[in-house]
Structure 1
Amino acid sequence: MPYFTLQDVPEELVTPKHSTALGRLITGEQVEFGILRFKAGEGAQIHSHPHEQIVYVLKGRMKVLSEGEETIVGPGQAALFHPNVPHGTKMLEDTEVISVKGVLDGVGHKTA
């Protein structure tokens, strides 16, 4: 059974194709966990992927656009992104989130 100390996982740009997130990711065969950081004004462009994703805000606030709705998500709140539904985010201040996402073929954020 693998164990991880998140601080030992290298921090990297998570999905540079559409996001400015810096983070540390642990990727299993079916699920990926990460703590991601964004600066105010950064975020993720509108995109979609074939797996669900939950983003839980630890600190900061982000504007979320999903399913035609725009909402503000702050500390202690989470956003659920359904499979294949376009969604995006914009940070209203420096923000740190937990991201939990399904993976395909053992690969998560890096192919999204």
Structure 2
Amino acid sequence: MPFYNPKAMKRGLAGASYSTSEGVWVDGKKIIFGVIDKPAGTGSRPHRHPNEQFIFVQQGTLKAMIEGKRKTVPAGGIIHIPANAIHSMVATDDEDVVFIVAKDASWGIEGVPEDQGVLGAFIGKGAEKAVAAKYARIARSLGKGRGAGGKRKAPRGRSAARPSSPKSARES
């Protein structure tokens, strides 16, 4: 279908093992396009993916890190993340962030956390009360895949193939 209403689409998590990003997106043949939000004071831990990504900050301010370079990007700013670049995006403490994302479809919406031994999103001290319960539940559900010593088990049979996007993020 060529027309989508984001308000009518089912929301999904984009990077549940390392980020608070949640929203809707459409998988095209060559482009993934979506509207994603992050609660104030939360965001992603460092991660990477083999597909290039652009972010347009629609509301709020993101604290961006790409390959060790840090920049605060307010509403109206554009962020370019090259393929395979280690990066993280965190909403400032004062306001939720809404951003538009466009990625090439050679991979999926999710990336791979840099430290795969740690599960869970970045949640700043000021945001803990507001979002802790929700993301603690997510981390617990992901933690069921942990091995001895609390370390995350490596996925079996997973190669660099493109992961599929969750059905919940598609229009019903």
Alignment match, 2:32: 32
Output one character per residue of 1:59-91: Cα deviation in whole Å (capped at 9) or x when no partner: 100100002210000110011000011000111
Q: Helix, strand or coil: the match of 2:10?
A: coil
**Structure of larger gyration radius:** 2
Cα distance in 1 between the residues matched to 2:45 and 2:34? 19
Residues 86-101 of structure 1 aligned to structure 2 (within 5 Å): 86-92=86-92, 93-101=95-103
Q: What is the CA RMSD across the aligned residues, in angstroms?
A: 1.6
Cα distance in 2 between the residues matched to 1:39 and 1:6? 18
Q: Where do 5+ consecutive residues of structure 2 fail to align? A: 111-162, 166-172
> Which has a greater percent of strand?
1
Q: What amino acid is the match of 2:2?
A: P
> Which has a greater percent of helix?
2
Cα distance in 2 between the residues matched to 1:60 and 1:42? 12
Q: What amino acid is the match of 1:41?
A: G
**Alignment coverage as a number of residue pairs:** 110
Alignment TM-score, normalising by the size of structure 2: 0.60
Cα offset for 1:12? 1.6
Q: Where do 5+ consecutive residues of structure 1 fail to align? A: none
Cα distance in 2 between the residues matched to 1:64 and 1:55? 11
Alignment match, 1:68: 68
Alignment TM-score, normalising by the size of structure 1: 0.89
Cα distance in 2 between the residues matched to 1:44 and 1:103? 21
Cα distance in 2 between the residues matched to 1:70 and 1:52? 18
Output one character per residue of 1:35-78: Cα deviation in whole Å (capped at 9) or x when no partner: 11111111111111111100110110010000221000011001
Q: What amino acid is the match of 2:101?
A: S
Q: What amino acid is the match of 1:87?
A: H
Matched, 1:20 2:20: yes
